[in-house]
Amino acid sequence: MNDIRKACVEAIFSEFENEGDAIRPAYADGWSDIEARRSLGHIVGYVDLDVADIVDIVIDTINKEL
């Protein structure tokens, strides 16, 4: 179970780093105002989260890990 959790966290951080649609700046091109703090497991800043896309990322990751 710990491996699945780790893989899901990694997938969400990758989505952010690739400037995907699930995690975006809440305004214009504010990518530089958002920071990924992997060591803490946080993405901080003024963000717009697409919950359905995040759920899809988690489900896809779980299916790959099983």
Q: What is the pLDDT at residue 63?
A: 97
Q: What is the pLDDT at residue 38?
A: 93
- Summarised one tens digit per residue, pLDDT across range 14-62 is 999 999 999 999 998 899 999 999 999 999 999 999 999 999 999 999 9
Dihedral angle computed from the Cα positions of residues 42, 27, 21 and 36, in that order, rounded to the nearest 10 degrees? -20
Q: What is the pLDDT at residue 21?
A: 93
Q: What is the pLDDT at residue 1?
A: 75
